[in-house]
Amino acid sequence: MKETVKGEGRRETRIRMARYIFEHKAASRQELSGALELSMPTVFQYVNDLMNRGLVIEAGEYNSTGGRKAKMLRLQAGIYSALGVEISRRHVRMVLVDLSGTLLERKSLVLGYENTSEYYEALGQAIEAFVQEQKAAAGLLGVGMSIPGILDLEAGLLRQSHALGAKNVGLKSFSRYIPFPVYFENDANNAACAELEGKTKDTVYLSLNDTVGGAIFLASQLYRGDNYKSAEFGHMMIVPGGRRCYCGKEGCLDPYCSAQVLRDPQDQSLERFFDRLRQGEEGAKALWDEYAGHLTIAIDSLRTIFDCDIVLGGDVGGYLAPWLPELEDRLRKYNNVDTDISFLRVGKFCRESSVVGAARQVMSHYIDTID
């Protein structure tokens, strides 16, 4: 008699298994059995089913622990792909990713955001041209759109985006000229999904872009808040009566730790600032000292509130790896509770986390539709 899983049918079990492999990039049958609480005969049955469908392949072997080497299972590459698109005030960034998680191609182009039909048509044309260049249309599962700001997905609205200078814009405006299914998400949430793939630990993601935001993962779920405003860390007050924020308050984190604080005034380049910092230029060192001081206060506050791992990402996060030891030293001066500062790390995707996460969202939707 075949094993049945209480409360779920064959389709749900198939989806759980495919999702586990997707989120962890690879898994053995033994790992699936333990993690999903399924018997080995049931795992073999469903793995064979997914392999017959062309979704899962055996891609090598794990190192032996004394017995027969376990086969490594991965999602099939090369059949399906997803396009991630990141919208910013001046640019559009695109990446094509296949179902195995391999980044196939990337492209960035100058396209200044405007809430006009001309902009949305140009966006659709750029996306369609990129897909045709890569000959990916046949297997494209859809487009994941990453937008900075507060998104009300139920109402289909971009409620507010300081980064784009937009308010109450219908999300269908962005997809009007795109001939593929489109899935929307906030940029910080997308970035966190990319950075935390396969992770089960509670984690806070701090996004340091031209505006400061973030995302909160609790019990492996994205916490959105009652009004889709969770993790608006840029509006935590850190200097009462301090610099005026675009939200109208004084002393928010955003005017102290956004990427704009560090951008070179001549060419708006973060890379140029960090080059100056590496060279020991006094002006850059003074600006960094002030920036790092405020960032440390924010990190310590988030650690105190959530008591979990913290990932630094966004444009600034992509440059912070060499300065992580310094930030850890600064944290020790504030935090007399945590002797281990390993809860803090920088993102692995650097400045591409948001657009990669957008592509992953498309794949996640696809896995939920497996029949």
Residue 57 has pLDDT above 50, yes or no: yes
CB 320 within 8 A of CB 259: no
Q: Is 320 helix (H, G, I), strand (E, B) or coil?
A: coil
CB 105 within 8 A of CB 89: no
Give residue-wise pLDDT tens across range 74-109. Answer: 999 888 999 999 999 899 999 999 988 888 999 999
What per-residue confidence (pLDDT) applies to 87?
Answer: 96
pTM of the predicted protein model: 0.83
Give residue-wise pLDDT tens across range 147-157. Answer: 999 999 999 99
CB 14 within 8 A of CB 49: yes
Give residue-wise pLDDT tens across range 285-335. Answer: 999 999 999 999 999 999 999 999 999 999 899 999 999 999 999 998 887
What per-residue confidence (pLDDT) applies to 2?
Answer: 45
What per-residue confidence (pLDDT) applies to 272?
Answer: 92
What per-residue confidence (pLDDT) applies to 75?
Answer: 92
Average pLDDT, stretch 9-29? Answer: 90
Give residue-wise pLDDT tens across range 176-205. Answer: 999 999 999 999 899 988 888 767 789 999
* 234 Cβ neighbours under 8 A, 6+ residues apart: 211, 212, 213, 245, 252, 253, 254, 257, 258
What per-residue confidence (pLDDT) applies to 1?
Answer: 36
Residue 211 has pLDDT above 50, yes or no: yes
- End-to-end CA gap in the chain: 22
Residue 60 has pLDDT above 80, yes or no: yes
Average pLDDT, stretch 31-41? Answer: 93
Average pLDDT, stretch 105-128? Answer: 96
Average pLDDT, stretch 101-122? Answer: 94
Q: Which amino acid is at 114?
A: E
DSSP H or E run through 138: none
CB 166 within 8 A of CB 157: no
Between the CA of residue 43 and those of 25, 68, 73, 351, what are the distances in Å? 17, 17, 12, 38
**Residue 349: pLDDT band by 50, 70, 90 thresholds?**
confident
What per-residue confidence (pLDDT) applies to 7?
Answer: 45
Residue 240 has pLDDT above 80, yes or no: yes
What per-residue confidence (pLDDT) applies to 49?
Answer: 93
Percent of the chain with pLDDT over 90: 70
The pLDDT mean for the chain works out to: 90
Between residues 119 and 263, the one the model is more confident about: 119
What per-residue confidence (pLDDT) applies to 40?
Answer: 94
The pairing of beta strand 344-346 with beta strand 309-313: parallel
Between the CA of residue 39 and those of 77, 180, 276, what are the distances in Å? 27, 39, 58
Average pLDDT, stretch 114-131? Answer: 97
DSSP lists the bridge partners of residue 222 as 217
What per-residue confidence (pLDDT) applies to 226?
Answer: 86
**Residue 8: pLDDT band by 50, 70, 90 thresholds?**
low
What per-residue confidence (pLDDT) applies to 198?
Answer: 66
